[in-house]
Amino acid sequence: MKVGVGFSDNPDTVAGVRQAAGEALKAGAGQSPCDLALVFFTARHEAGILRQALAPILGDSVPIIGGAAAGVMCHDRFGYAGDQIILAAIWLEGVSCQLFCQGDLDEGEEEAGRRLGRKMVQGGVGPDSPVFLFYDAIKRENDQVKLIMATPLLQGFYEGLGFLPNLVGAGLQGDYVLSPTRQLNGSDIVQHHALALAFSGNLRIDHVIMHGCRPATAYYTVTRADQQTILEINHRPALEFIRDILGPELPPEAYPFFLIFGINRGDKWGRFDEESYASRLCLAIDPERSGIVMFEPDMVAGTEFQVMYRSLDLSYMPPKIEQIFEGLKGRRPVLATYIDCAGRAAAYAGADLEDALVVQKTVDGRAPLMGLYTGVEIAPVDGRPRGLDWTGVFSLFSVPQ
């Protein structure tokens, strides 16, 4: 397998596509055509124009797969909230890849996941198949925004498939104001779809999770919830309970996109293990019911959690990435991916250092790098793929030497 990655932040979609595709094809030693292309772009680019410009460059028969991103990164550039495009041209060279698509996410995530899983069973996907899954995370109707949830999607996926494979992925958004976007499913332009790339042969995907958060409190228990809204914690109104913990200096109006809960899927009393935690980010508050609205609906009654604090020190990241490279043991890295929560971007989070710079410096050209700023990140936690918030997921695709 060989991969070339190209980047552009040209506001002209046609010129941007030509730049990104040209860089990707050149990085892949100029071979043409490639077997497939992955392309991600901000909401400032219209999917139809982008695809129309890209098809003749790659070849009309090359599947073009991708969708929205709030920003992107490659080995030496990154950007978000602008005109960014990233493209990975892929030559499979003995690795096989199947694309599975399922629409109607806006009609129900669980049923859509179930149908996608059934399609993958029929396609011969097995428990050991590496899978890259991404889906449209935004539904907007009449100026109302609804988030499409990873938790029910993955539950339905499990029910349709009968298992959950080695899976990483993302819930896609095109900008920070949650504009509606489209996906590219190989041959067409679609919306509210989930797309899964299932690989077989000798490809392996290793990953590591980077939350940048640590527990700040003891364990508390959700005692009443309604969908994604936590109504009671330890039998007290949720807002009142958390306000007593955080103190009056941080008013409830500041909780959205700041307050993070951690669900430990590992040893409750063991040493802190980032790989066992799923982070949950507050989306909004419900003052009338004294509720806290979360991005995912899985904090149901009985869920134990801790309030997490964010670390602005990113020195923990390079050793975790190095562990992945060291674990290759003679295998050849062909693609590094970094799926980064859009909220972790320095300009948005108020940080001094960008995740992207740390990832770029650590990868140091040892593999082509394709990074996305996303709404939801997906990776295995305690052996089961889960939707994550405020998380970076670094993955390394490799083949035998």
Question: Are 86 and 73 within 8 A, CB to CB?
Answer: yes
Percent above pLDDT 70 for the chain: 99
The reply to whether 136 and 278 lie within a common domain is no
> What mean pLDDT comes out for the span 395-400?
97
Residues 6+ apart with CB under 8 A from 251: none
Give the span between the Cα atoms of 143 and 352, in whole angstroms.
34
- For 348-362, the pLDDT digits (tens) are 888 888 999 999 999
- Of 309, 330, 351, the position where a domain reaches its end is 309
What is the pLDDT at residue 115? 98
Tens digits of per-residue pLDDT, 335-390?
A: 999 999 999 999 988 888 899 999 999 999 999 999 999 999 999 998 899 999 99
Stretch 42-62: mean pLDDT: 97
Task: State the Cα–Cα distance between residues 383 and 240, nearest whole angstrom.
Answer: 35
Q: Tens of pLDDT along 177-211? A: 999 999 999 999 999 999 999 998 799 999 999 98
Q: Do 29 and 154 reside in the same domain of the chain? A: yes
**pLDDT tier at 30 (50, 70, 90 boundaries)?**
low
Mean residue pLDDT of the chain comes to: 95
Question: For 221-237, how does the pLDDT look when each residue is reduced to its tens digit (9 = 90+)?
Answer: 999 999 999 999 999 99
Check: CB of residue 103 under 8 Å from CB of residue 112.
yes
Whether 206 and 223 map to the same domain: the answer is no
Residue 318, both tokens: 């390079």
Model pLDDT, residue 28:
85
- Asked if residue 124 and residue 85 are part of one domain, the reply reads yes
Confidence of residue 6 (pLDDT cuts 50, 70, 90): very high
Section 136-164 average pLDDT: 93
Name the CA radius of gyration of the chain, rounded: 20
294/356 same-domain check: no
73, 218: one domain = no
Domain carrying residue 139: 2-210+314-400
Pair (195, 217) in one structural domain = no
11 and 128 both lie in a single domain: yes
pLDDT per residue over 86-141, tens digit each? 999 999 998 999 999 999 999 999 999 999 999 999 999 999 999 999 999 999 87
Distances (CA, A) of 240 to 230, 246, 256: 12, 10, 15
One domain for residues 232 and 159: no
pTM of the model: 0.94
Of 261, 280, 309, which residue constitutes the final position of a domain? 309
Whether residue 298 is found in the same domain as residue 384: no
Banded pLDDT at 31 (limits 50, 70, 90): low
**pLDDT of the residue at 212:** 78
Q: What is the pLDDT of residues 241-300, one digit of tens each?
A: 999 999 999 999 999 988 999 999 999 999 988 889 999 999 999 999 999 999 999 999
Say whether both 53 and 153 belong to one domain: yes
Same domain assignment for residues 329 and 229: no
- Structure confidence at residue 54 as a pLDDT band (50, 70, 90): very high
Domain total in the chain:
2
Pick the last residue of a domain from 309, 326, 356.
309
